[in-house]
A and B are shown apart, each in its own frame.
Chain A
Amino acid sequence: MRSVGTLRQVALAMMRVGVLGYGGGPSVIPLFRHEVVTRLAWMDDAAFAETLALGYALPGPIATKMAAYVGHRAAGGVGAVVAVTAHILPTCLATVALLSVFGSLEHLRVVRDMIAAVVPVVVAMLARMTFDFAVRTKRSLGWKNGALSMVVACGLLAAQVNSALVILLYLGFGAARSHIQRAFAALRANGGRRS
């Protein structure tokens, strides 16, 4: 593949997205789009939208997948490594710095109070994410199947089945489901032709 950008461009663009993107993966997507489509014109809007959709089809953080792909497209394998590194390095350093500060002050009453006071905010954040995921479940599976699959998952997790195993189980069923549906559709189509 011909390189469309320099490593320097890749590094600067991905660092900007990383430093300016507050609030985790999904909130940085518009920033990616701005750098890659608008400013550097490495992809058009349609290609960007397709890449994003495909990115969500794979597990793992979306931002690092996007950074790797953009870097690879612009400057090959080295570009991918540079892009991901530039994207996360500033925050990584800040995280470790904060951790060290907190760690050395943890014995202080004030810091313990600060740490305790932030947990309810995290609960609110998690509650909101739960709601978002519930809405997504309803949108893709519908009320009945969505609720049923959630109740079953809840039962499995309550019975102490390993969470990774539960996900693998659902993934397997999801993969099989499309095959089963296709087999049924083919059967019906054949039946229709014969009669």
Chain B
Amino acid sequence: MNLLHLMWAFFVANALGYGGGPASIPLMQDQVVHGFHWVTNSQFANILALGNALPGPISTNVATYVGYLVAGWPGVLAALVATIVPSAAAFVGLRSLLARHSRSGLVRGMTELVQPVITVMMLLLTLQMSRTAIGGVGVWQFVGIGGLSLFAMIRWRLHPAFLILGAFAYGAFVMPLASG
């Protein structure tokens, strides 16, 4: 049953995520945190962090992680198949058909109108995660770490992987000092 649930959750999240992997993030969170309660928001944040610190597509990393947590290796396989196969098979099979329709504007009209929904879902997820972050490290550390991360990503174009490693180091060495 868990395997079917895994397949359903990751199929829905990826079949509706238009605009590449990142678009699926809020949908995956909705399924695995709110839908099936497999992980908490804080766990999901860490899955995203590790998924981003490791190479490879973020959706397949999340699918692997949650699949393994829920049902071991069979779970990994179920979550990955549901993530990859529908869109990959459709793409290989329908490429020529797609090429015709993308010019007709039908496909463009659909993908364009999904973007505002993804934007709003991403925004709501950001707010939810802010609450989780404040619950974990308090307001000041949240503002400090989050603000510095945002600045480093935008101004210095620093890759998130370094920030994630930096945050791990901060949690390991600085936070124990502060809390005594």
A interface residues with partner B (beta carbon < 8 Å):
18-26, 28, 50-51, 53-65, 67-69, 72, 80, 84, 87-88, 90-92, 94-96, 98-99, 102, 109-110, 113-130, 132-134, 136-137, 140-141, 146, 149-150, 153-154, 157, 163-164, 166-168, 170-171, 173-175, 177-179, 181-182
Which of A53, A91, A128, A173 meets B56, CB within 8 Å? A91
Q: What residues of B have a CB within 8 angstroms of the CB of A116 in the complex?
A: 42, 133, 136-137, 171, 175
B24 in contact with A61 (CB, 8 Å): yes
Sort A-B residue pairs by CB-CB distance and give the 6 closest, nearest first: A60-B87, A117-B171, A91-B56, A174-B113, A116-B136, A68-B88
- Which single residue of chain B is at the shortest CB-CB distance from A26? B20
Nearest B residue to A88 via CB reads: B60
The answer, yes or no, to whether B58 is at the interface (CB within 8 Å) is: yes
Contact B122 A129 (CB under 8 A): yes
Inter-chain CA distance A120–B153, complex, in Å, is 13
Chain A residues within 8 Å of B45, by CB: 118-119, 122-123
- Can you offer 6 A-B residue contacts whose CB atoms are under 8 A? A23-B161, A65-B87, A115-B46, A118-B46, A119-B45, A125-B48
Inter-chain contacts of A150 with B (CB < 8 A): 116, 119-120
For B50, the chain A residues whose CB sits under 8 A away are 95, 98-99
- The minimal Cβ–Cβ distance linking B175 to chain A, given in whole angstroms, is 4
Distance in angstroms from A38 CB to nearest chain B CB is: 20
Selected contact of B16 from candidates A92, A110, A168, CB within 8 Å: A168
Q: Do A59 and B21 touch across chains, with their CB atoms under 8 A apart?
A: no
> Which of B44-74 touch A at CB < 8 Å?
45-46, 48-52, 54-61, 64-65, 68-69
Contact A157 B124 (CB under 8 A): yes
Q: Which residue of B has the minimal Cβ distance to A60?
A: B87
Tell me, in angstroms, the Cα distance from A22 to B30 when the chains sit together.
25
Q: Contacts A57-B107, A124-B163 known; A154 to B120 CB distance under 8 Å?
A: yes
Could you tell me if A54 and B20 are in contact, using CB atoms closer than 8 angstroms? Answer: no
Partner among A88, A129, A175 whose Cβ is within 8 Å of the Cβ of B109: A175
B7 interface hit (Cβ, 8 Å): no
**In the bound complex, do residue A177 and residue B80 qualify as a contact, i.e. CB atoms below 8 Å apart?**
no
CA distance A129 to B21 in the complex (A): 11
